[in-house]
Amino acid sequence: MTTPAIMLMVLSLLIVWGGLVVSIFVLRARPERADYPAGGDDDHREDDHVVEHDT
């Protein structure tokens, strides 16, 4: 491979896979928020309107 091609390949991989690695670390460091606005309990009666006729 030529030098410019190798450089571009390495750089592209560093950016895209580096972005992936960083985003995984960011997520692992703080998987969920510690604080949420009030409320927000999953009220299934409110948002579900699927009736399981077969159960």
Partner 1 sequence: MSAPSTQDTSPPREQFTGQVGFILSAIGSAVGLGNIWRFPGVAYENGGGAFMVPYVIALLTAGIPILFLDYALGHRFRGGPPTAFRRVKTWLESLGWFQVMICFVIAIYYAAVIAWALSYFVYSFGLQWGDDPAAFFTGDYLQLSDTANGGPWFSLDFVPAVLIPLVLVWVATLAVLAGGVAKGIEKANVIFLPVLVIAFSVLVVRAIFLDGAGDGLNALFTPDWGALGDLNVWIAAYGQIFFSLSVAFGIMITYSSYRKRKANLTSPGLVVAFSNSGFEMLAGIGVFAALGFLAHEQGVAVADLEGLTGPILSFVTFPAVISQMPAGALFGALFFGSLALAGFTSLISILQVVSASFQEKFGLSRRQATLWIGLVAAALSVIGMATTTGLIALDTIDNWSNQIGIVASAVIMCIFFVWLLHKGPELRYHLNAVSTFQVGRWWYACVGVIVPAILAYMLVSRIVDLVQNPYEKYDETYLLYAGWGTLVVLVVGAVVLTLPRWRRSPDEFTPWPAFPPSVTTTSKEAAR
Q: Give the footprint of partner 1 on this chain (CB under 8 A).
A: 1-2, 4-9, 11-13, 15-17, 19-20, 23-24, 26-27, 30-33, 36-42, 44-55
Cα distance between residue 42 and residue 47, in whole Å: 9
Place of tokens 């159960």: 55
Q: How far is the CB of 45 from partner 1 (least distance, A)?
A: 6
DSSP annotation of 54 reads T
Cα distance between residue 36 and residue 26, in whole Å: 19
